[in-house]
Structure 1
Amino acid sequence: MADPLLLNEPFAELLQGIAQCATCGVEYDAASVPAICPVCADERQYLPPDGVQRWHAPTVESAGIEVVELEERLFALRVDGGVGIGQEAKVLVTDAGNMMVDVPAAITADAVAQVATLGPMRAIIPSHPHMFALQSAWSAALDGAEVWIARADAGWLGRAPGNLRLWDGEEEVLPGVVAAQLGGHFPGSAVIHWEGDDGRGVLLSGDTIAPNPDGRTTTFMYSYPNRIPLSGPVALRVAGGAARFAFDRLYGNFAGSILSGAREAVLDSAARHAAWTSGDHDDLTGPAGRSG
Structure 2
Amino acid sequence: MRLPDDVVQCATCGVEYDARRLPGACPICADERQYLPADGVQRWTRPLEHDEDIEVVELEEGLHALRCADGVGIGQEAKVLVVDAGAVMVDVPAAITEEAVQAVRALGPVRAIIPSHPHMFGLQSLWSRALGDVPVWIAREDAAWLGRTPENLRLWEGTQEVLPRVVAAQLGGHFPGSAVVHGEGADGAGVLLTGDTIAPNPDGRTVAFMRSYPNRIPLSGPVALRVAEGAAAFGFERLYGNFAGAILVDARASVLASAARHAAWASGEHDDLTGSAGLA
Q: TM-score band (shorter)?
A: over 0.9
The separation in 1 between residues aligned to 2:115 and 2:142, in whole angstroms, is 11
**Offset from partner CA, 1:45-94 (integer Å, 9 cap, x none):** 00100001000111185211000000011000001011100000000111
Shift of 1:176: 1.3
**Offset from partner CA, 1:201-224 (integer Å, 9 cap, x none):** 000000000000000000000000
SS at match of 2:47: coil
Q: Hey, what does 2:32 align to over in structure 1?
A: 43
SS at match of 1:202: strand
Aligned counterparts, 1:188-199, within 5 A:
188-199=177-188
Q: Hey, what does 2:225 align to over in structure 1?
A: 236
* Residue 151 of structure 2, aligned match among 157, 162, 165: 162
Q: Is the aligned partner of 1:31 residue 2:12?
A: no
Amino acid at match of 2:114: I
Matched length: 280
SS at match of 2:48: coil
Amino acid at match of 1:240: E
The separation in 1 between residues aligned to 2:253 and 2:101, in whole angstroms, is 36
The separation in 2 between residues aligned to 1:282 and 1:237, in whole angstroms, is 23
The separation in 1 between residues aligned to 2:15 and 2:229, in whole angstroms, is 30
The separation in 2 between residues aligned to 1:271 and 1:244, in whole angstroms, is 16
The separation in 1 between residues aligned to 2:159 and 2:254, in whole angstroms, is 23
Q: Is the aligned partner of 1:118 residue 2:135?
A: no
The separation in 1 between residues aligned to 2:43 and 2:11, in whole angstroms, is 6
In the alignment, structure 1 segments of 5+ residues that lack a partner are 1-10
* Residue 89 of structure 1, aligned match among 63, 78, 96: 78
TM-score, length of structure 2 as denominator length? 0.98
Q: Hey, what does 1:3 align to over in structure 2?
A: none
Contact 1:148 1:166 in 2 (8 A): yes
Aligned counterparts, 1:122-137, within 5 A:
122-137=111-126
* Residue 65 of structure 2, aligned match among 73, 76, 94: 76
Contact 1:61 1:108 in 2 (8 A): no
Moved more, 170-179 or 149-158: 170-179
Q: Hey, what does 2:197 align to over in structure 1?
A: 208
Contact 1:61 1:107 in 2 (8 A): no
Q: Is the aligned partner of 1:105 residue 2:105?
A: no
SS at match of 2:14: coil
Contact 1:60 1:107 in 2 (8 A): no
Q: Hey, what does 2:135 align to over in structure 1?
A: 146
Contact 1:15 1:58 in 2 (8 A): no
The separation in 1 between residues aligned to 2:212 and 2:272, in whole angstroms, is 26
Moved more, 51-60 or 178-187: 51-60
The separation in 2 between residues aligned to 1:16 and 1:124, in whole angstroms, is 22
Amino acid at match of 1:98: A
TM-score, length of structure 1 as denominator length? 0.94
Between the two proteins, what is the percent identity of the paired residues?
73
SS at match of 2:259: helix
Shift of 1:177: 0.7
Aligned counterparts, 1:169-180, within 5 A:
169-180=158-169
Root-mean-square deviation (Å):
0.9
In the alignment, structure 2 segments of 5+ residues that lack a partner are none
Shift of 1:157: 0.2
